[in-house]
Amino acid sequence: MGKKIMITDPEKCTGCRLCEIVCSVKHNGVSNPTLARIHVVKWDNEGFYLPMRCQQCKEAPCLAICPKGAIYRDPELDSVRINHDQCIGCKMCVQACPFGAMGWNSERGRVFKCDLCHGDPQCVRFCDMKAVDYVDAAKLQSCKMRESAENYSELMRRHGGK
């Protein structure tokens, strides 16, 4: 089982959308954000940016709704994958995904989603801020715990442990 998970940190995202372009070039050989598996949703009037992409759900609605069993779980990366040989292009998965992470390429007539670039996600590789990251789940938890503990201990020190 894969231990790494994809995470996003909107506080780090600068909204540059490089992740979208490298994704589209990597998978389609073209620059076209509408074909990217990741998209930075931006609220330009308040400066808030949030990269959105497949969460590789445990109970994946796309997988559950597929009438042909064309969507399956890849145990190696613990990711949700598409078997295009079995896909009939009904687009039920596109409608079912609560994150908008399943796309439809009308030119090629097929659905598409994040495949974690087979373990080396290009969005993560190119994002210098690491606003999108692919990290060890256990390490992420311990890091977050330490971060929170630091705040807490700072408070404790300031108040003399009382």
Partner 1 sequence: MALNRKIAYIDLSTGEVKTEAIPLEWRRKFIGGRGLDAYLLYKHCPPGADPLGPDNTLLISAGLLVGTMASASARTHVMAKSPLTNLLGSANMGGFFAPEMRWAGFDHLVIRGRAEKPVYLYIHDGEIEIRSAETVWGSGVYDTQDLLRRELDDPETQVLCIGQAGENLVRFACVMTGRKNAAGRTGMGAVMGSKNLKAVACRGTTSIGIKFPQEALEYNKQIIDQVISTKVSQIMQRWGTGFIYGVTNTTGLVRCRNFQYNQLPNSEDIECENLDKYSIGLDGCFGCQVHCRHRYIIKEGPYAGTYAQGPEYTSQGAFGAEVGCRSMNTVLVGNHLVNDYGMDTLEVGSMMAWAMELYEKGLITDKDTDGLKLEWGNDEAVIELVKRIAFRKDIGDILAEGPLPAAKKIGPESLQYLIHVKGMSNLHSDERPTPALALNIAVSSRGSDHLRGRPAIDLYNLPMKVLDKVYRNPDGYTGPLTNSYSEYDGKPRMVMWQELVYMAVDCVGICKYHTVFLSPNHPQFKEFAKLIYLNTGLEFTEKEIWDVANRGYTVERLFNLREGMTRKDDWLPDRYFDEPTKLGLPVARGKSIDREKFKAMIEQYYRLHEWDANGVPTPELLERLQIAELRTAA
Least distance to partner 1 from the beta carbon of 21, Å?
5
Using the minimum distance from each CB to partner 1, give the nearer residue, 42 or 91. Answer: 42
Distance of CA 76 to CAs 79, 83, 136, Å? Answer: 8, 15, 14
Minimum distance, C-beta of residue 23 to partner 1, in the bound complex (Å)? 10
107: closest CA among 4, 18, 34? 34
Output 24 or 79, the one with its CB closest to partner 1: 24
Adjacent-strand bridge partners of 133: 7
Give me the residues that bind partner 1 (CB under 8 A), please. Answer: 11-18, 21-22, 24-26, 28-35, 42, 44-47, 122, 125-126, 128-129
Closest approach, Cβ 133 to partner 1, in A, equals 15
Collapsed DSSP state (helix, strand, coil) of residue 119 = helix
For 44-157, strand residue ranges (E) read 48-53, 71-74, 79-82, 103-105, 110-112, 132-136
Pick the closer one to partner 1 by CB: 46 or 85. 46
Residue among 72 and 104 whose Cβ is closer to partner 1: 104
Contact 26, 150 (CB under 8 A): no
d(CA 131, CA 38): 12
CB of 22 to partner 1, least distance (A): 6
